Amino acid sequence: MGKFYESIPPELVPWILKQEMFWVATAPLSPEGHVNVSPKGVRDCFNYISPTRVWYQDLSGSGVETISHIRENGRITLMFNTFEGPPRIVRLFGTGTVHEFGTREYEELIPPEQRRPGSRAAIVVDVHKVGSSCGYAVPYYEFRGHRQALLDFFISRERADQNDEAAHAAKGLKAYWEEKNMRSIDGIPALQAAPKAAGVPSCTDVMKRAEASVNGNVPARTNGSAVSVKTGRSVERRRVEELVFAFALGVAVAAVYVRFVGVA
């Protein structure tokens, strides 16, 4: 059964922080506007401040719905769920604030050594309600690793800005923002400060790779918790074992029931 809280319970914080991805949902005020849901999956982009405040590093992309919706009405919901182990879904309902690249608030939250390639804003969420539910319908998935493609793409864009700052490089990240990230698909204003920021986007070498990899594909965890990578065969074996255990337990319960009924 679902439970609701006025703030994030302490026991949920470690679970939230170890999830490899989460979803962000926003919507415009207009009934004709498009509701948006975006997956977020780059490690260490989500951050916990307090039971009623969290934030995440918003990376650039071809769309900018979340930022535009927050600017218009502030409403935002973050959803986390597990794909391994006991099922669970957690939703953080709150009000968002956008701090764009180049602003004082952005620089305070994201120092250069923690900035990801393509980072365009810090989204701060003031949480006013938390929902926790079972998630029994969520299937099992095995975590294989984080994709590097987006980070590589924006590394090249940032290098263009660094190499040709005076000319505002046509292939730079700022030009990309001006082309893709100024308005939502409904025409709501989005980025304002970032494209005009005095500095140019850059990140340190240590942050350029999504994660160190094993055999070129599967990242090795650096926070002390290992990633379990299983083949499809091992997953099926686990499911068979679960079914056998459930069957054996059912037989045992039935035997006890028959015995007591017989005695009565």
Are 241 and 166 contained in the same domain? no
Are 14 and 63 contained in the same domain? yes
In tens digits, the chain (264 residues) has pLDDT values of 689 999 999 999 999 999 999 999 999 999 999 999 999 998 889 999 999 999 999 999 999 999 999 999 999 999 999 999 999 999 999 999 999 999 999 999 999 999 999 999 999 999 999 999 999 999 999 999 999 999 999 999 999 888 875 555 788 999 999 999 999 999 999 999 999 998 888 876 544 555 444 344 444 433 333 333 333 444 445 555 666 566 666 666 666 555 666 544
The number of helix segments (H) and strand segments (E) in the chain equals 6, 10
Which residue, chain included where needed, has tokens 């989500």? 46
Cβ–Cβ under 8 Å, residues 57 and 122: yes
Give the span between the Cα atoms of 205 and 203, in whole angstroms.
Answer: 7
Nearest to 56 by CA among 27, 97, 3: 97
CATH no. for residue 166? 2.30.110.10
**How high is the pLDDT of residue 204?**
63
**How high is the pLDDT of residue 245?**
63
Are 44 and 134 contained in the same domain? yes
Are 130 and 7 contained in the same domain? yes
Following DSSP, what letter does each residue of 138-205 receive, concatenated? SPP--------HHHHHHHHHHHHHHHSTTTT-TTSHHHHHHHHSSB-TT--B---SGGG-SS-----G
Are 199 and 235 contained in the same domain? no
Pull the structure tokens for residue 156: 């090249």
Are 206 and 240 contained in the same domain? no
**How high is the pLDDT of residue 223?**
37
Are 220 and 243 contained in the same domain? no
Half-sphere exposure (Cβ direction) of 22: Cα atoms closer than 13 Å:
26
Contacts for 192 with CB less than 8 Å, ≥ 6 apart = 100
Give the span between the Cα atoms of 25 and 57, in whole angstroms.
Answer: 15
**How high is the pLDDT of residue 203?**
74
Are 207 and 247 contained in the same domain? no
Nearest to 168 by CA among 191, 198, 208, 204: 198
Are 144 and 200 contained in the same domain? yes
Are 185 and 260 contained in the same domain? no
Are 135 and 185 contained in the same domain? yes
**How high is the pLDDT of residue 169?**
72
Query: What is the reported pTM?
Result: 0.77
**How high is the pLDDT of residue 158?**
93
Neighbours of 198 (CB within 10 A): 5
**How high is the pLDDT of residue 68?**
99
Cβ–Cβ under 8 Å, residues 181 and 120: yes
252: containing domain: 231-264
Specify the number of domains making up the chain. 2
Are 42 and 109 contained in the same domain? yes
